[in-house]
A and B are shown apart, each in its own frame.
Chain A
């Protein structure tokens, strides 16, 4: 963080200034009405930016909430290491809900396609209920996907964690209504109005650290339905799958079984920004097999209580 005094004599906020201030306002507002707040933190860039905004919102105090990660058991080691280092650096408390535990004791079953992203919903809702979280922050953005484009900044979930898209509360001016009944909770998305490019430009401006996967590196990859997957214990290789070394990076970091890399030479933030600005493929379309399941894949998962 910069320490020199900043003077803004111009009567205008830049887009990034406006988005940062809006995000901080949303976080402070939600915390003001929370009994037990939590941030869903995966070590991915969006949750890293939300955490960064929270450190600014409560400066010079520590961030006043816990972090929760729903671990599919198929995450990249680099990302888990980054997650733990970040938590330690900020002196925060992290809880981890493990999909593997649910598979081991039979509450969940592995899907035939091997992807575990849809399996995160049950451990997430159990963790929210058992810890009594009432305000759950997430890094979702409206520009990611069509169903997300319709979600409120402060979004009510019923007793079953479900989102009812046809019966959302009107959200007026900058008045955010996080009131809810016992058993319900609200999801709060401070980055609702940010685009992928805004997130990257902000990461550059603020010099925010990210897992190394986001930048170009050499890696063994193989082609699976038009995506570059990497050999990983969670990925079942099929006959004919042949790994080759390519220079790639990840646009999103999720479950290794369904998150693909993109070929890229972007090794610096500035390169990534140039690449994102010039891209012709949406973030999720390029790299997430789970969103390709159907036209309404995200809507269905959100209704069931997904992030």
Chain B
């Protein structure tokens, strides 16, 4: 319950995914209910609607179905965000719908998630949607995957079906290169192993879903304990107040505003400015509350530089050691999220950091077969010439101007990009750049 939460607790973002009718909304409702995050009037509204529909007891799924069409059809259409906290942590939950046609929402939810919770109905085991959700987790490199093997009450709390599914999941996860996957037997309906340990799964001694959510390190905590691979700050805005300064002393102020997306930046650090390649040094790290000696990933700051170099919105500041390098050609995995298909040689916009750059998808090099016939993700790319909604493809992209796009596997934030329709501005695809064969291209820029 929120009363005992302190303001110094850390934040965990997680997403839930599952296929139709595997009880995902019920699991979410159960988590909120058992952490006492449902307020009385919302609970009474659920009770009333459950009664009107002639159901027995309270349908916890009603809590997350926020749109009229969802309530009428009894399904979830769009990602719903939920907020709750326990004494140990604050949570932001992206509840993602299960229908195949809404897989794009799972991609959306997973892109910011520290943990992806995937539901499996114990009676049906790993199905196509499960494989798709695990592929999304692998592609987006979600740090932790938790598998809720649900409806364990419907198999008399038996261990054998759980073990069979856990084995199947482990084998599939290995093929995908997912190394942190944990399975938990749960009954979302009754609350077994969700927030409270079940007395009916005596053979299971592992953590509950909530235990995992409270203790798994979030992305920033993982990054802090990882080897230092430098820092990154995409410049969002050049602060040059001149006549709009809040005090005369700041008339000639010049700072570069942005969010530290990776690593820790410190005063005195050598800086590389991309795509210009200029070098300089961090003179100061400013905030409205005063200067900082250092700023960790996740913090919005303004950087002052020692030299008067040309820096604009869309540029990337990075540590000189392991600096990001600009590229004009790269390979990527993309999840195609639009109704209309993608064809080779299509002109698009690539959104990266604070930049939008004209680009061409020069070739579609294959489509991922999510059943992984090749045994690994890379060996399961089958030939294909266009990408349809929900396809995960491998493409080559050429940019009209260079961008410091990096390998997503080592630089999650600067390796991520979106493909945007140049005509109506709609977001068409989520992309992760991959360094298959880095080298210098004919134009002198690095190819990844």
Contacts and interface: CB of A to CB of B under 8 A. Distances in A.
Interface string B64-105: 111111010000011111110000001010000000000011
Contacts of A36: none
Contacts of B261: 174
Contacts of A205: 7
Nearest to B353: A175
A60 B253 CA distance: 8
A59 B220 contact: no
A282 B42 contact: yes
A92 to B, nearest CB: 11
B71, B77, B108, B220: most-surrounded residue (chain A CB, <10 A): B108
Interface residues of B, number: 88
Contact of B298 (A18, A28, A195): A18
Given A193-B83, A296-B68, A56 B287 contact: yes
Interface stretch (A9-17, A95-103, A249-257): A9-17
Given A20-B300, A61-B244, A61-B245, 16 more contacts: A5-B290, A8-B295, A11-B221, A12-B10, A14-B9, A57-B300, A60-B250, A142-B83, A146-B66, A146-B67, A166-B67, A166-B78, A172-B112, A282-B42, A295-B45, A296-B68
Contacts, number: 232
Interface in A80-117: none
A178 to B, nearest CB: 8
Interface in A161-183: 165-166, 168-175, 177, 179-181
A118 interface: no
Contacts of A285: 39, 41-42
Interface string A21-46: 11011001101100000000000000
Contacts of B430: 170, 172
A138 B104 CA distance: 26
Contacts of B258: 25, 28
Given A21-B259, A25-B300, A201-B7, A32 B427 contact: no
Interface in B251-293: 253, 257-259, 261, 264, 286-293
Given A7-B293, A8-B296, A61 B8 contact: no
Q: Is the interface of A mostly helix, strand, loop or mixed?
A: loop
Contacts of B298: 13, 17-18, 21
Contacts of A4: 290
Nearest to B302: A59
Contacts of B49: 295
B244 A64 contact: yes
Contacts of B2: 197, 277
Contacts of A56: 287-289
B40 A280 contact: yes
Contacts of B296: 8, 11-13
Contacts of B308: none
B224 interface: yes
A21 B261 CA distance: 11
Contacts of B427: 169-172, 177
Please name the 7 residue pairs, one residue from A and one from B, whose CB atoms are nearest each other, closest first: A179-B425, A146-B66, A61-B241, A11-B224, A60-B250, A59-B288, A24-B300
B424 interface: yes
Contacts of B445: none
B347 interface: no
Interface in B101-115: 104-105, 107-108, 111-112
A6 interface: yes
B380 interface: no
B419 to A, nearest CB: 10
Contacts of A293: none
A174 to B, nearest CB: 7
B157 interface: no
Nearest to B352: A175
Contacts of B424: 181
Interface of A: 1-9, 11-22, 24-25, 28-29, 31-32, 55-62, 64, 142-143, 145-150, 165-166, 168-175, 177, 179-181, 192-193, 195, 197, 201, 205, 274, 277-282, 285-286, 295-296, 299
Contacts of B69: 166
A279 B39 contact: yes
A299 B67 CA distance: 7
A62 B241 contact: yes
Interface in B231-250: 236-237, 239-241, 244-247, 250
Contacts of A192: 81
A147 B79 CA distance: 11
Contact of B7 (A16, A22, A62, A169): A16
A171 B296 CA distance: 24
A69 B425 CA distance: 29
A149 B81 contact: yes
16 contacts: A8-B296, A12-B220, A12-B221, A13-B296, A17-B298, A17-B299, A28-B236, A28-B257, A56-B288, A60-B245, A62-B246, A166-B77, A171-B427, A174-B261, A177-B418, A280-B39
B313 interface: yes
B356 interface: yes
Contact of A175 (B8, B67, B68, B351): B351
A6, A13, A165: most-surrounded residue (chain B CB, <10 A): A13
B202 interface: no
Nearest to A62: B244
B337 interface: yes
A66 to B, nearest CB: 13
A32 B82 contact: no
A259 B398 CA distance: 55
B420 interface: yes
Given A149-B82, A170-B105, A282-B39, A60 B9 contact: no
